[in-house]
Amino acid sequence: MIFMEKTIDARGQSCLNPLAMAKNVLKTLSVDDKLNVVVDNIVSAQDLEEMAEQMNLPSQKIQQGTDYVVSLFVKKSFFVPQYDEVKKDESLKLKSSFIVVIDSEFMGKGDNKLGTNLLKSFIYTLASSEEFPTKIIMYNSGVKLAVDGSAVLADLKKLQNVGVEILVNDTSLEYYGLKDKLAVGKLISMADLIKIQVEARKIIKL
């Protein structure tokens, strides 16, 4: 018996966005509810099936023309933490500490439009995840993400609100003439930037 059924349209979304969208909706559902996720590529459909398996959720994939509908069925086991997961959460609280370093307004080298979309998708997915970095450091043109008008400003503020430190290099902001437009985070010097990276247990550099 299904009590509530929700459908989200994740067509046209890149990378891990369909997973993040599904996770956000799943948090609002109850036992025996059903979530349908519509995607337009087989890779995203398979990723959703794999996520469902990891979450102890039965799933069903149906192809409709060029689209795929992946249905996730919420069961009681979804709300009961497994022993290994509890141990992992405790371990993360004690041992996990990583920072994200962003030195460009684009992600990767190549087409700038693609790089912009990839970086936007990365930050959105990070803000929607269940494991956050302790700090996000920005320098060079990466500081443009933290100023007024940035496409990722809302997600950066969301990360800041859950305790992630957003650290923006002052020299870079000054170089681009953006020092008075900083909208999230706080300024750090080069000395602080070096110190933080030296002390970090793990660094993810984009």
Confidence of residue 199 (pLDDT cuts 50, 70, 90): confident
Residue with the bigger pLDDT between 107 and 201: it is 107
Q: What residues contact residue 49 under an 8 Å CB cut-off, 6+ apart?
A: 59, 61, 70
pLDDT above 80 (res 152): yes
Instruction: Give the mean pLDDT of the chain.
Output: 86
The pLDDT score that the predictor gives to residue 84 is 45
Residue 188 pLDDT greater than 70, yes or no: yes
Checking if the pLDDT of 10 tops 90, the result is: yes
Q: Each residue of 28-74: pLDDT tens digit?
A: 888 889 999 999 988 889 889 988 888 888 999 999 999 999 999 98
Query: Which tokens sit at 95?
Result: 């041992």
Burial degree of 88 (CB within 10 A; 0-12, 13-18, 19+): middle
pLDDT of residue 19: 87
What predicted TM-score, i.e. pTM, was given to this entire model?
A: 0.62
Domains, the chain, with CATH or none: 5-79 (3.30.110.40), 85-205 (3.40.1260.10)
* Close Cβ partners of 45 (under 8 Å, ≥ 6 residues apart): 39, 61, 68, 70
Per the CB < 8 A criterion, the answer to whether 112 and 120 are in contact is no
Under DSSP, the state recorded for 160 is H
pLDDT at 153: 95
> So what's the pLDDT on residue 103?
96
Whole-number pLDDT of residue 1: 54
